[in-house]
Structure 1
Amino acid sequence: MYDFAIVGGGVVGLATALALAERFVGAEIVVFEKEATWAAHQSGHNSGVLHSGLYYRPGSLKAQLCKAGNAALVAFCREHGIAHDICGKVIAATEARELADLEKLYRRGQENGLAVEKLDAEGVRRMEPHVRALAGLFVPTAGIVDYREVARRYAELIGERGGTLRLNCPVERLEVLAKGWTIETKTSGSFEARFLINCAGLWSDRLARLARSEPPARIVPFRGEYYELVSEKRYLINNLVYPVPDPAFPFLGVHFTRLIDGSIHAGPNAVLSFKREGYQKGDFDRKDLQEVLGYGGFWKLAARHWRAGLAEQWRSWNKAAFVKSLQRLVPEVQSADLLPAGAGVRAQALRPDGGLVDDFLLVEGPRALHVCNAPSPAATASLAIGQAIAERVAALRLQHNSNAASM
């Protein structure tokens, strides 16, 4: 019997396995991943940004773990020779109405203990000559990395420390035992474990229900679509350029990101995905869509944000509208400069009242812990999240042992 079973081979699941191996030396650990590679979904379909923690509510888990996770991941990359670049990020205000929100972001960065520099229009131009803005912020601790490479190294270290790694191994059924769990997989038979950690991302709520836990939110998938600048136009962007986010809308808006390979991606938008792993516009799964449309929380969210939602859908199907959004930051960008790039699907936890779960959400179950919301900056914060999960697991085990002894 394994001591710990982790379901989900993204960066959070793998970082959790690493943290458990460090905290419980000699423990038997197994990681299940249904795909043939690590970081096959959210972890491998993001923009590769190392976030600083600027946007997050002071005192929230996201704010705390992002700052700590950024420092830990940079140190990890240096130690293990993983290519990364702490290039910094410019946030540009292009309209006068955004200046007040820019000031709020600056104050939030200070509250979160970050070094944030105010920029005037000339200061923005010095850093990003083709960006036109009234003012901006520079966040020096933001950077870029390839999270697939990070995940591969996490997995190698788990193997070196005696962990069992199971790729191509979907979990289909979970049964409670007197002292743990039976985990039935589609390809490799059954396994037993004393404690279950659910890091299944897009499938985390369904896996929690399989494990007899009812999370207080449901996963609703949103697809983020990207374009890529043609190589001749990469000079338009030096590093990372973001707009001032609309405080009434829960996403950051389309932005420019330099990837570690030197390419420049533009996006993402945010549209409802008709499939939990729906990376193409035409992807559709009846069960996934029925689950969303039958959920009252979704309709309450839609009622609040229907105008922004329609604008995102229009931008998804109309390249000219996408280009117009980008031209707010870089007026020189033209439609011919952009080629379609990949897309990602964000597992957004949504409450029954229509509120988006804005922070990491950990749900306790019988001999189990379910990570039911791990939005951005989860990849950046993965090592810190892994440590936090390991601490929570240790407390739950102690509590369980204490309760058992008192019976």
Structure 2
Amino acid sequence: MSRIVIIGGGIVGLATAKALSETLPDVPLTVLEAEDRVGVHQSGHNSNVIHSGLYYPPGSLKARLARQGGELMIRYCEEHGLPVDRRGKLVVATATSQLVPMAELARRGRANGVTLREIGEEEVRELEPDVAGIAALDIADTAITDFAAVTRSYAAELAARGVDLRLGARVAAVDRPGARDGGPVVVRTERGEELEATVLVNCAGLFSDRVARMCGVDPGVRVQPFRGEYSALAQRAGTTVHRPVYPVPDPELPFLGVHLTPGVDGTVHVGPNAVPAFSRTGYRWRDLDASTISAWWRDPGMRRLARSYWRDGAREVVRSLSKPMLVADVRRLLPQVRSHDLRRAGAGVRAQAVDDAGRLVDDFVVRATPGAVHVLNAPSPAATSSLLIGRYVAGLAREAYDGTPAPDVAAVVSG
């Protein structure tokens, strides 16, 4: 049977299925999700911020998808009755050494079409009386939502359209007899299912590089899981925030630093940090996977990464294990915070692509091969931009399916 199979029931995989079900409504479509529900991993464990496009280098795939993607996400939430609140955010400088990188952020943001203002200490106090800062960027376009609810909404739409969404269907093998000549791809799951596909779309997130290798494709990157641990902040006099509050990030790292994020449920989360995880689903220090650890030591690229960032990594590990260090970092933004104001509130695991040279890959990586499309790196703002990313990946999948030329990114964004 001529069908398209998508591996991965996270927000990007389901957004891709949603786009394909709209453009190819008569083509059988199956989504395979390894877990017993959708959005179990990255889609359901994040800061729930709809990003504005502030951080990304102008011209990058992230920048081109983030700005309009965020507006589409806000509209989608409003139209489907999902929680969403466009309350803006502050990126706060707490030292003069941060003013130059903050100015660069402002330049990037304006180049990407972000609505922002550069404000001084007095206005920071007016907007967030408990936050300490000598200057800030006031970003109007940022919103908050619940991306787990968004993911479930995508799944409900697919079910209503008759898309075959299979839960608990972990992929065990992919055979590609004759795929280069237009022959089918055969996908086998651990529970014994066997599906023939004309096109396979790999949206496996934390396992995307492994799925690519199952397909006989060298992904050119490997996924390193990083755990981000969250704390919940008690809201009392001196520790109240009304909108997301972020520090000025280190431009050398693809992580945004410990930030404060009010959720749609009223909870204020602090975090995440970024510590290496020793399992691709390593939500706790005791979650260990021998193959993940072995890959660290056998892979020259991963060893180069460790040599390059060991100081940053060591600091993140110490902060994970030392609450006083976490409190000290939070107090740079909220001076009145005390240890008893913070409690552990879960963690997420981020799939971070690392290239052969041991560099952290900051942009989206999507690779089309005969009979397949592989989403190999989809970091933040993947959830924010998922509707546009879904259209982009679906265009590549349709080209592989029936030869219809895939639209370029500019056409996806404008359309």
Give the C-alpha shift of residue 395 in structure 1.
2.9
- Which runs of structure 2 are paired with 1:278-317 in the superposition (5 Å)? 278-317=282-321
Of 9-18 and 161-170, deviating more is: 161-170
Structure 1 counterpart of 2:185, one-letter code: W
Question: Percent identity among equivalent residues?
Answer: 44
Residue 18 of structure 1 corresponds to which residue in structure 2? 18
Residue 91 of structure 1 corresponds to which residue in structure 2? 91
Residues matched between the structures, number: 401
Give the C-alpha shift of residue 295 in structure 1.
1.4
Structure 2 counterpart of 1:330, one-letter code: L
Q: Distance in 2 between matches of 1:59 and 1:186?
A: 41
* Equivalent residues of 2:229, 2:272 under 8 A apart: yes
Residue 67 of structure 2 corresponds to which residue in structure 1? 67
Q: Distance in 1 between matches of 2:151 and 2:83?
A: 13
- Which runs of structure 2 are paired with 1:3-402 in the superposition (5 Å)? 3-178=3-178, 179-187=183-191, 189-230=193-234, 232=236, 236-399=240-403
Give the C-alpha shift of residue 230 in structure 1.
2.6
Residue 404 of structure 1 corresponds to which residue in structure 2? none
Q: Distance in 2 between matches of 1:79 and 1:180?
A: 38
Give the C-alpha shift of residue 207 in structure 1.
0.4
Give the C-alpha shift of residue 250 in structure 1.
2.6
Q: Secondary structure at the match of 1:355?
A: coil
Q: Distance in 2 between matches of 1:138 and 1:206?
A: 41
4+ residue stretches of structure 1 with deviation over 4 A?
A: 231-235, 398-401
Structure 2 counterpart of 1:299, one-letter code: R
Q: Distance in 2 between matches of 1:331 and 1:289?
A: 39
* Equivalent residues of 1:233, 1:337 under 8 A apart: no
Q: Secondary structure at the match of 1:236?
A: coil
Of 315-324 and 241-250, deviating more is: 241-250
The gaps in structure 1 that reach 5 residues or longer are 402-407
Q: Distance in 1 between matches of 2:78 and 2:260?
A: 25
Q: Distance in 1 between matches of 2:127 and 2:38?
A: 36
Q: TM-score, with normalisation over the residues of structure 2?
A: 0.94
Q: Deviations over 1:220-279 (max 9, x none)?
A: 111111111135469511110000001122311100001111100001111110111000
Over the aligned positions, Cα root-mean-square deviation in angstroms equals 1.5
Q: Distance in 1 between matches of 2:117 and 2:23?
A: 38
* Equivalent residues of 2:130, 2:238 under 8 A apart: no
Q: Distance in 2 between matches of 1:280 and 1:91?
A: 29
Residue 405 of structure 1 corresponds to which residue in structure 2? none
* Distance of aligned partners of 1:86 and 1:188 in 2 relative to their CA distance in 1, 3 Å threshold: farther
Q: Distance in 1 between matches of 2:89 and 2:26?
A: 41
Give the C-alpha shift of residue 356 in structure 1.
1.1
Q: TM-score, with normalisation over the residues of structure 1?
A: 0.96
Q: Secondary structure at the match of 1:117?
A: strand
Structure 2 counterpart of 1:54, one-letter code: L
Q: Secondary structure at the match of 1:27?
A: coil
Q: Distance in 2 between matches of 1:305 and 1:396?
A: 39
Give the C-alpha shift of residue 131 in structure 1.
0.6
The gaps in structure 2 that reach 5 residues or longer are 406-415
Q: Distance in 2 between matches of 1:139 and 1:391?
A: 32
